[in-house]
Amino acid sequence: MIWSIAWRNVWRNRLRSSVVVVAVTLGLLAGVFTTAFMRGLSEKRIQDAIRTEISHIQIHMPGFSDNTDFSMFIPAASGLADTLNGIDVIAAATRRIVINSMIASAETGTGVMITGVDPGQEMRVTNIHEKITEGEYFRDYRSNPPVVIGEKLAHKLHTGTDRKVVITVTDIHGNTVQGAFKVAGIYRTDNAGFDERNVFVRFADLAGMTGFHPSGAHEIAVRLHETQETDRAVGMLRELRPDLEVLPWQETSPELGYLTSAMDQYMYIFVMIILLALCFGIINTMLMAVLERVKELGMLMAIGMNRIKIFFMIMLESVFLSLTGGILGIVAGYLISKYYQYHDIHLPVQWVEGFREIGYSATVNTITDLPMVFIIALMVIITGVVSSLFPAYKALRLNPADAIRTDN
Amino acid sequence: MNIIEIRNLHKVYNTTHVPVYALNGIHLIFKEGEFAAIVGPSGSGKTTLLNIMGGLDEPTQGSVTVAGTDIFSLGQRRLIDFRLQHIGFVFQAYNLIPVMTAGENVEFIMHLQGRPRAERITRTRELLTSVGLADRINDRPNKLSGGQQQRVAVARALASKPRFILADEPTANLDSRSTENLLDIMEQLNIGEHITFIFSTHDPRVVRKARRVITIEDGKVSQDQEKSSGS
Ligand SMILES: Nc1ncnc2c1ncn2[C@@H]1O[C@H](COP(=O)(O)OP(=O)(O)O)[C@@H](O)[C@H]1O
Ligand SMILES: [Mg+2]
């Protein structure tokens, strides 16, 4: 019966309770939607990074990542790449040469990471070829080997397609060598920083220029059919080649590895702040509800309703009040998030450039997460309980004899 | 058998200015089956006395023994339970929970006592019938007149099967017809079912119905008069 009394008590002052319910609804709608939005944003960032930048797994000689020494190459890498291409969880594997270098146009120069790729295989691992905005993903020129550069770098170098750039690298003997390349294509990813730093040439051209072993590689990049298979595939590859360093994407890019969990933590803090703000509204409403019912509460104590039950009743009222709005907000937020899971959210144009600078794309889909929704619902219940403590304490301090006196 | 023994009861309210001596040495004994009125001018201490008899407020000095139990030796928690099990209350106003129907108000006290649902439901219907409100069982208090609300309160007080019912000015807010009606019902319950009623009033028509009239003035019993029944 106490449950039903508490529920009806919530609706004694319909307007006042409705205001709180609406506030809680909006707060949680915002909380749930923002959570799903941020999840989507970070998941998109991770998938984009895997697809265009780092691939699922990278294989190097041990220690290569720490010092990109020319000599640290995987011998007989082409054979290994062929083997990998035959493994079922692996969608494709490709060899690369990776060297720090200088690139210069007629006007200016800068330091970049130059990657020698086998275009045919590379296209099966990363999707830079889909990001070409001008020119094409490698073509043959009569005079010079082709190079593909990022849009940001092209701007920086004041260069464009079909124009010449000079790349300076150190060869395997430690001599500085220079080569003139022609810009075959300009790409643009969602990560402007990546575009500025990464230059692609053909494996054979770079190997020829530097004397790199034609069947070796600094790096083998592996794309899997499913991101969830990463751990399993890494285990397999480590077993296959214990002499090599096999890095999953989370280790190639630790900040991406932490992104989801860090984002989740921020979101919980965000929701907690919303609930904290709502908490004051609920406390205020509950306090009013207690103070205007002093005589009734005194009567209940007088006839023998004990303090635990009074406390429980007030706590339930507070929980019902917050949970009504909480459930409405969570359900609405969940449905809206579900909708935008399948329909793109286009970020406002004025944000897009700024987002691109830090690697985020202009369209986002929300990602809904049922466990998170339940945790948020639990947080709402806790908020209701916490909000009831002070009003309930006020109620329990009532002296029934004073409370029911009619002559005051 | 004595159901209430009041010995040397004193109550001093410590207000910010001067202490108020509300009760100044009250001795009273009530027996089972009484129908007693406590009368006296406003401020004489009627409410204070009933509150202390019911264990709602503590005396400054003296004791109240209900059916052999010194109620102020029980401690707060057990005292609340003692009230729930042994004492029925009817107040001047604010007796009922406005969000509950008449039936639920009656049933609720049995729920607090932990009685089984089937018993609660039959007893609620019986009690509302005995106060003439069987047809209002599903109405909320705001649909009932003041007199009907007080009758529900009497039914509620009876529901817990208390040793006695304390009623502080139960008719003060009622018109004369409702007053008479409520008193008739209380009298029937007293005679027919031996329910002990102790009520305060300053309404002479109510006093006339009582079989014992205790007058208090300045916190003291100035007169304690038994009438033969049916006067
Ligand atoms: N809580 C209180 N604090 C201070 N004085 C009180 C309080 N309650 C009652 N009194 C005083 O005690 C006296 C007796 O009051 P009360 O028992 O209400 O009398 P009655 O019910 O006969 O009108 C009055 O003088 C009243 O002002
Ligand atoms: Mg009084």
SS3 B51: helix
Which pLDDT value is given to residue A355? 81
Which pLDDT value is given to residue A357? 80
Q: Which two tokens stand for residue B208?
A: 């006339």
The interface residues of chain B toward chain A in range 13-32, judged by CB-CB distance below 8 A, are none
Exposure pattern of B115-139 as b/e (b: 16+ CB <10 Å)?
A: beeeebeebbeebbebbebeebbee
Which pLDDT value is given to residue A89? 93
* Pair (A299, A362) in one structural domain: yes
List pLDDT tens digits, range B84-106. Answer: 999 999 999 888 999 999 999 99
Which pLDDT value is given to residue A67? 63
- Identify the residue whose C-alpha is closest to ligand 1 atom 5: B13
Dihedral sign of CA atoms A60, A65, A66, A72 in order = positive
From B11, B15, B47, the mutation candidate for ligand 1 (largest count of ligand atoms within 8 A of CB) is B47
Any chain A CB within 8 A of the CB of B91? yes
List pLDDT tens digits, range A334-373. Answer: 999 999 999 999 888 888 888 888 778 888 899 888 888 8
Bridge-based pairing state of the strands A109-117 and A57-60: unpaired
Closest chain A residue to B13 measured between Cα atoms?
A402
Inside any domain, residue A219: yes
- What is the rounded CA–CA span in Å between residue A374 and residue A387? 20
List pLDDT tens digits, range B37-86. Answer: 999 999 999 999 999 999 999 999 999 999 999 999 999 999 999 999 99
Q: How far is CA B75 from the centre of its chain?
A: 22
Any chain A CB within 8 A of the CB of B100? yes
Ligand 1 in contact with B43 (CB < 6 A)? yes
Q: How far is CA A348 from the centre of its chain?
A: 19
How many C-alpha atoms does B77 have within 13 Å on its Cβ side? 3
Inside any domain, residue B126: yes
Inside any domain, residue B33: yes
The number of folded domains in chain A is 2
Best mutation target, A292, A296, A303, to test chain B (most B CBs within 10 A):
A303
The number of folded domains in chain B is 1
- Identify the residue whose C-alpha is closest to ligand 1 atom 2: B13
* Chain A residues whose beta carbon lies within 8 Å of the beta carbon of residue B111: 1
Per-state percent for chain A, helix, strand, coil, to nearest 5: 55, 20, 25
Inside any domain, residue B231: no
- B82 and B65 in contact (C-beta within 8 Å)? no
List pLDDT tens digits, range A209-224. Answer: 999 999 999 999 999 9
Contact across the interface for A399 and B108, Cβ inside 8 Å = no
Percentage of residues of chain A with pLDDT beyond 70? 98
Centre of ligand 2 from the C-alpha of residue B202, in Å: 9
A with B: how many residue pairs have Cβ under 8 Å apart?
73
Centre of ligand 1 from the C-alpha of residue B75, in Å: 24
Smallest Cβ–Cβ distance between B56 and the set A296, A305, A401 belongs to A401
Closest chain B residue to A301 measured between Cα atoms?
B80
Alpha-carbon radius of gyration of chain B = 17
* Pair (A71, A159) in one structural domain: yes
Which pLDDT value is given to residue A68? 59
Which pLDDT value is given to residue A63? 82
* Pair (A119, A193) in one structural domain: yes
| CATH label of the domain that carries residue B37 | 3.40.50.300
Inside any domain, residue B40: yes
* Pair (A38, A125) in one structural domain: no
Any chain A CB within 8 A of the CB of B83? yes
* Pair (A87, A211) in one structural domain: yes
List pLDDT tens digits, range A25-80. Answer: 999 999 999 999 998 988 888 999 999 999 999 999 988 876 656 778 898 899 99
Which pLDDT value is given to residue A402? 86
Inside any domain, residue A54: no
Inside any domain, residue A252: no
* Pair (A126, A204) in one structural domain: yes
**Residues paired with A144 in a beta bridge:** none
**Residues paired with A110 in a beta bridge:** A103
Taking 60 as the threshold, does the pLDDT of residue B230 lie above it? no
From B18, B48, B221, the mutation candidate for ligand 1 (largest count of ligand atoms within 8 A of CB) is B48
Counting every residue written for chain B, the total comes to 231
Q: What is the DSSP letter of A244?
A: S
SS3 B26: strand
- What is the rounded CA–CA span in Å between residue B185 and residue B209? 12
Which pLDDT value is given to residue A407? 62
Beta-strand (E) ranges in A323-366? Answer: 345-346, 363-364
Q: In which domain, by residue range, is A309 found?
A: 2-49+258-404
Average pLDDT (B99-116) is: 97
List pLDDT tens digits, range B162-207. Answer: 999 999 999 999 999 999 999 999 999 999 989 999 999 988 989 9
Contact across the interface for B109 and A304, Cβ inside 8 Å = yes
- DSSP sequence for A66-121: TS--TT--BTTHHHHHHHHHTSTTEEEEEEEEEEEEEEE-SS-EEEEEEEEE-HHH
A241, A297, B81, B104, B144 from B94: Cα distances, Å: 83, 10, 21, 15, 13
Amino acid residing at A333: G
Inside any domain, residue A13: yes
Q: Mark which of A214, A243, A272 sits at the end of a domain.
A: A243
A360, B87, B88, B106, B220 from B161: Cα distances, Å: 73, 8, 8, 12, 31
Centre of ligand 1 from the C-alpha of residue A295, in Å: 17
Closest chain A residue to B99 measured between Cα atoms?
A8
From B231's Cα to the closest Cα of chain A, the distance in A is 32
- What is the rounded CA–CA span in Å between residue A233 and residue B39? 93
Which pLDDT value is given to residue A29? 95
* Pair (A88, A236) in one structural domain: yes
- What is the rounded CA–CA span in Å between residue A197 and residue A113? 6
Inside any domain, residue A195: yes
* Chain B residues whose beta carbon lies within 8 Å of the beta carbon of residue A300: 97
Contact across the interface for A8 and B108, Cβ inside 8 Å = no
Q: In which domain, by residue range, is B143 found?
A: 2-226
List pLDDT tens digits, range A137-165. Answer: 999 999 899 999 999 999 999 999 999 99
Ligand 1 in contact with B42 (CB < 6 A)? yes
Question: Among residues A86, A99, A62, A73, which one has the least CA distance to residue A219?
Answer: A73
- Sorted by sequence, the CB contacts under 8 Å of residue A298 that are 6+ apart come out as A398, A399, A400, A401, A402, A403, A404, B94
Ligand nearest to the CA of B49: 1
Which pLDDT value is given to residue A264? 85
Inside any domain, residue A136: yes
Q: What is the DSSP letter of A217?
A: B
* Pair (A264, A362) in one structural domain: yes
Centre of ligand 2 from the C-alpha of residue B11, in Å: 14
Mean pLDDT, chain B, integer? 94
* Pair (A66, A43) in one structural domain: no
Inside any domain, residue A57: no
Average pLDDT (A235-241) is: 94
Which pLDDT value is given to residue A56? 95
Mean pLDDT, chain A, integer? 92
Taking 70 as the threshold, does the pLDDT of residue A117 lie above it? yes
Inside any domain, residue B20: yes
Ligand 1 atom closest to Cα of B169? 21
Please, which pLDDT band fits residue B231 given cuts at 50, 70 and 90?
A: very low
Which pLDDT value is given to residue A155? 95
Ligand 1 atom closest to Cα of B14? 4
Inside any domain, residue B75: yes
Q: Mark which of A217, A243, A269 sits at the end of a domain.
A: A243
Inside any domain, residue A151: yes
- What is the rounded CA–CA span in Å between residue B50 and residue B4? 12
- State the complex-level ipTM: 0.95
